[in-house]
Amino acid sequence: MKYGFDREDFKISYSRINAYLFCPYKYKLIYIDNQYVPLNADITFGQIIHKTLEKYHSRGGKNMPQLSECYDESWENKGFASPQQNFEYYRRGTAMLENYFKSFSVSNVKILYTEKSFDANIGKYRFIGIIDRIDEYPDGTKEIMDYKTHIKIWDSQRVDKDLQLTLYAYACKNIFGFTPDKISVYFLSDNIKIYTKRSNKEIEDGVNLALETAGKITGDDFEPDTSKCANCDFKLKCKNSSYTENV
């Protein structure tokens, strides 16, 4: 059975490629069968923090009360397991944003864009995405940044290999017309940035992986990878799941 990939609106993004590389069947569940990834506290919290920072910077925010106001406006109660968990995440976010504000208020960067969306091509495919932040330093150098809100900080090897950053470096060069001088992941929970770079060869490899993945998707290859089930969002509802709960 074909899934209608001749439609003009077929597009790829880092999230789609990532879902496919995790398990092809997971891609099918989300993007073809339109199944929602079950909400949880981490997903909601990540969305709230991204929304807060976008609001704050797009309004030209200057102080902590304005940042707190954007936080309260962005807060949503969905996805938390209990009122207690809701409260704990709210407090964590408050501390996170206070540290963010302290660092940002003494930095000398100019923010060019927040939540900058793009829609272009990789080969014959439409390629879409959103870059969390693009900054410019006084000497004209530019930095692209991805925010992370989870607690665990990645080591630099993982940041160096991250496909999302590679594809965003491609987007900058080919869509926005500049090569990013700095690429960073900002771990907001610890207020730590880890910097990385991408060579032309690494960008080419990332683009090839994206093209190869898009080719498999349009070729209707959705073979389940059951080695990942224990860590999958769909482990309790997927018909191919090999996950069994220990009782």
Provide the CA 244 distance to its chain's centre, in angstroms.
Answer: 29
Q: Considering the rule CB under 6 A, would residue 23 count as an interface residue with ligand SF4?
A: yes
| Residue 198, Cβ density class (10 Å: 0-12 exposed, 13-18 middle, ≥19 buried) | buried
Contact 74, 89 (CB under 8 A): no
CB of 202 to ligand SF4, least distance (A): 28
Pick the closer one to ligand SF4 by CB: 118 or 243. Answer: 243
Binding mask 173-212 for ligand SF4 (x = CB under 6 A): ----------------------------------------
Task: Name the segment binding ligand SF4 (CB under 6 A); options: 22-30, 83-91, 101-109, 154-162.
Answer: 22-30
Task: Name the segment binding ligand SF4 (CB under 6 A); options: 71-79, 95-103, 171-179, 224-232.
Answer: 224-232
Count, residues near ligand SF4 per rule CB under 6 A: 15
Binder of ligand SF4 out of 224, 245, 246, 247 (CB under 6 A):
224
* 212: its two tokens: 């190869």
Q: Considering the rule CB under 6 A, would residue 40 count as an interface residue with ligand SF4?
A: no
**Which positions from 226 through 245 interact with ligand SF4, judged by CB under 6 A?**
226, 228-229, 232, 234-235, 238, 240-241
**Which positions from 88 through 117 interact with ligand SF4, judged by CB under 6 A?**
none
Task: Name the segment binding ligand SF4 (CB under 6 A); options: 88-96, 113-121, 208-216, 221-229.
Answer: 221-229
CB of 226 to ligand SF4, least distance (A): 5
CB of 43 to ligand SF4, least distance (A): 16
Cα distances (Å, whole numbers) of residue 232 to 46, 74, 158, 173, 212: 18, 28, 20, 34, 23
Name the residues that contact ligand SF4, by CB under 6 A.
23, 25-26, 29, 224-226, 228-229, 232, 234-235, 238, 240-241
